Every structure is written in structure tokens, then in C-alpha cells.
Amino acid sequence: MNEYDSNRILDLTKKIKYEPTKDLNEANCYILNTCHIREKATDKVYHDIGRLKKNFINKSKPIVLITGCVAQAEGSILLKKEKYIDAVLGPQSYHKINDTILRLEKKKISPVEFTEFDVIEKFDSLNSLKNTDNKISSFLTIQEGCDKFCKFCVVPYTRGAEYSRSIEELISEANQLVENGAREIILLGQNVNAYHFKKNKLSNLILEISKIKDLKRIRYTTSHPKDFTADLIEAHKNCEKLMPLIHLPVQSGSNRILEAMNRKHTVEEYLEILKKLIKVKPEIKFSSDFIIGYPGETNDDFKKTIKFINQIGFINSFSFIFSPRPGTPAFDLVKVEERVSKNRLIEFQRIAENIKKNYRNNLIKKTVKVLFENKMKSGNRYFGRDEYFNSIIVESNSDLTGLIKNVKILKGNQNTLFGEIISNVDQTNYAA
């Protein structure tokens, strides 16, 4: 979502004639868009500013803005602690960026903080501006914020309450992205499947967007098990453009821990969703997030998590040691000993990696459908992703960007699979 926000910040600042630069020496305005989900986020901001200061030591100071969730959570503390920062703007206030920059240019304001939850005003401003993102696989934020209040999580405090954008503005923005060249759209939300606008849910939005002719693939992330309703499961049966990989965070394989986290579902309920999805789409696969060493997690709870990942065979498991976030209910809970958490994480990741390795080894000599996103810097190599979001590289003398090809997988390493095109025809026959 930060990537989407950063692109929109670029769209906004272009209006006042600012252009992105890769050369830090050339910058006269520096915007640091931040994430606050795990610890050290604030330290990273101070560290970055330190580097920036060194870089600009004998030059005129650039305008320095901090945006994103660290700006929201820390607000004026950042301004007080680090005088080099000119303004902080939270994730629901970044539409005020141009006005802020213009006033800072004229030195008309002293350091300023915008951390209101102006989500309606923000999207009103953004809607009046064409989305210029021109990636083959583009992000589209459809929903923000969260009302679930898991005890470990800062999102309800930094992004605010659940908010869904109107279906009309989303279809219009999806059309813009496809006109810019997108062939895949990844619908985003902190709880993407909580999307609801009037009578429309995520399933309706997916079916509407799938009508865009040149759009070949749709994905969505991140969903919450509690919002996995029957209509969304049906959409996986009815919409060929919807990719058969679902990222559905579970966090733990122990009901005791799920309850302590306030996740609002059990392991059995989670499994039931997977069963229903497999029934409508047998080739569907899953990935998930896990928090290791949540306060109160015993060895027995941890073993249940291990049993769970072995049972499901997630093709990707993202795991994090519990990070106490200030302001959340879990912050003050008695922590699992660091050494124990670290050992559990190592064991978890070893097992998760083995599951992933076996899955990827099984792909060798198989044929997969790859949507190519870009030519790589070296050689005639093209990068793309298959339906399960695996990274695939092939060699080709003709331009593959934006095309879907059948690719035979020849070999792979931990992160990338290498293959050869076996069909030069764009064989996609995806229908809405």
C-alpha cells in the first residue's frame, strides 16, 4: 500500500512541477514514506535523516517531509526531536502535500503536522488526478483502515477506521491503469475483503473490473478470514481472471493464541474456508503470515503452528517475531524470552522453506502461464510471474512485456525460476 501511496504522492507533486530523481544530490525535496508495522520504524527515520544531513552538509537544505504511518504515530515528536524535518503527514492527510511544499518553499510555515483522518477528502483529491502508474502489474487501493483491533497491530490507530472507496471511482481508476499498460491489477486493502460500498462487496468489484477487456489478471491482498464470505469464494469459481493464489494470514495454528490475539476466528474456521475454496477451484493455493512468540505462546502452541503449516503446505509463509507496538493492547504483555522466540522463528522458517522448496522442485519440467512485466537490465532476459506469483525469468529476442506465454520451467533457485517459452502465441483465453 505504501508503494501505491508513494506513486500517488508523485502524481500529486507533479502538479506543482516536482519530478522524481534517482540522484539524491539533485533533490530539493525529500519525502520519506514510512511503515510502522514492526519495531525500529522510527529509528529508521532518524537514521535516514542523519544520512540526508551528511549528504547535504555544504548544500542548501532540501524540504524534508515524513509521510506514512510513522508520521501518523509519532507526529509532533518527530518534529521536536529532529529539526531537519519540515512536516509530517499521516497516510490519510497526504493530499495536503502540495500546499505544504508550496508554503515551505516560501518559508511561510514553521514545521507542521497533518495527522487527521481525512480519508474522504484524500480520495476526493486523488480522484481528480490521473493515476500515471504504468507498470504491467499495478496496485489499486480499494479499502483502507481496520476495525478488527487485533491486540498486536497498529493499523487501526495509524490508518484509522475501515473505509471503502466507491465502485465507480475504482472502475475509473482501474481503466486508467489498463490504458497506461497494466495487464494485472492487485486490489489492496488492510482488510481487502471487508470492502463494501453500498450493496457492492469485493466479489462485485472483482467481477466489474474483470470486464475491462485488456486486463488479464486480478489479485487482491490482504484478506481476513472473518470476511471471507460465500460470494468471494464463488468469485473464484466464476472469474477466470482472478488468480488462484490467496494470501490469507492466520498468524498462529493455536486457538488459544488466536483468541489471545483477538483474531475472531478459530483454526477450524480457517480450514473450513480453505476447504470451500479448494472445492470451487481445486488448483487454488495459499500463502499466509505468522507471528512467532506472541505473549503467552507455549511450546505446545508453537508445535500446533508447525503442524498447521505442514498440513496446509502454504507455498509462501511470511513469519515475524512478535514486535511490541506502543499504543496497542499487547504492548505491555509479558514477552516470550527472546532466545526462545528466535529459536522458534528459525525452526518455523526452516520448515516453511522446505515446504516451499518441495513445491518449487515439483514445478521443474511443468508448464506455467507467465505474464511478463519487464525486460531485465542484462541480456535478452524477461521477468514475469506465473499465476501463483512465482518469479520467472526467460530469454527471448522478441519483446514479451505485457504478454502471457506458456513457459516450461527448467531450473530454479530460492527466489526465481528459470524457463523457456514453449508457445510463442499469446495463448491467454481468459474470459470475464
* Alpha-carbon span 183 to 396, nearest angstrom: 20
Write the interaction track for ligand SAM spanning residues 141-160; mark x where CB under 6 A is met and - where it is not.
-----------xx-x-----
- DSSP H or E segment with residue 283: none
Determine if 323 is a binding residue for ligand SAM (CB under 6 A). Answer: yes
CB under 5 to 8 A by kind: which of ligand SF4, ligand SAM, none does 325 bind?
Answer: ligand SAM
Determine if 148 is a binding residue for ligand SF4 (CB under 6 A). Answer: yes
User: Which residues, numbered 69-98, are part of the site for ligand SAM (CB under 6 A)?
Assistant: none
Minimum distance between the CB of residue 373 and ligand SF4, rounded to whole angstroms?
Answer: 28
* Alpha-carbon span 47 to 41, nearest angstrom: 10
Provide the grid cell at 132: 500515471
CB under 5 to 8 A by kind: which of ligand SF4, ligand SAM, none does 382 bind?
Answer: none
Nearer to ligand SF4, 117 or 372 (CB): 117
Determine if 289 is a binding residue for ligand SAM (CB under 6 A). Answer: yes
Q: What does 146-202 look like in DSSP terms, one character per residue?
A: -S---TT--HHHHT-S-EE--HHHHHHHHHHHHHTT-SEEEEE-TTGGG-EETTEEH
User: Which residues, numbered 14-33, are part of the site for ligand SAM (CB under 6 A)?
Assistant: none
Question: If you ran DSSP here, which 8-state letter would residue 23 be given?
Answer: -
Determine if 344 is a binding residue for ligand SAM (CB under 6 A). Answer: no
Determine if 191 is a binding residue for ligand SAM (CB under 6 A). Answer: yes
Are 306 and 253 in contact, with CB atoms under 8 Å apart?
A: yes
* Alpha-carbon span 297 to 261, nearest angstrom: 11
Q: Which of 64, 150, 186, 187 binds ligand SF4 (CB under 6 A)?
A: 150
Find all residues with CB under 8 Å of 319, minimum gap 6, and list them: 289, 290, 291, 292, 345, 348, 349, 352
Determine if 191 is a binding residue for ligand SF4 (CB under 6 A). Answer: yes
Q: Which of 36, 95, 224, 405 binds ligand SF4 (CB under 6 A)?
A: 224
CB under 5 to 8 A by kind: which of ligand SF4, ligand SAM, none does 156 bind?
Answer: ligand SF4
First to last CA, the chain: 26
Nearer to ligand SF4, 41 or 403 (CB): 41
Question: If you ran DSSP here, which 8-state letter would residue 46 be given?
Answer: H
Would you tell me which residues interact with ligand SF4 (CB under 6 A)? 146, 148-150, 153, 155-156, 190-191, 224
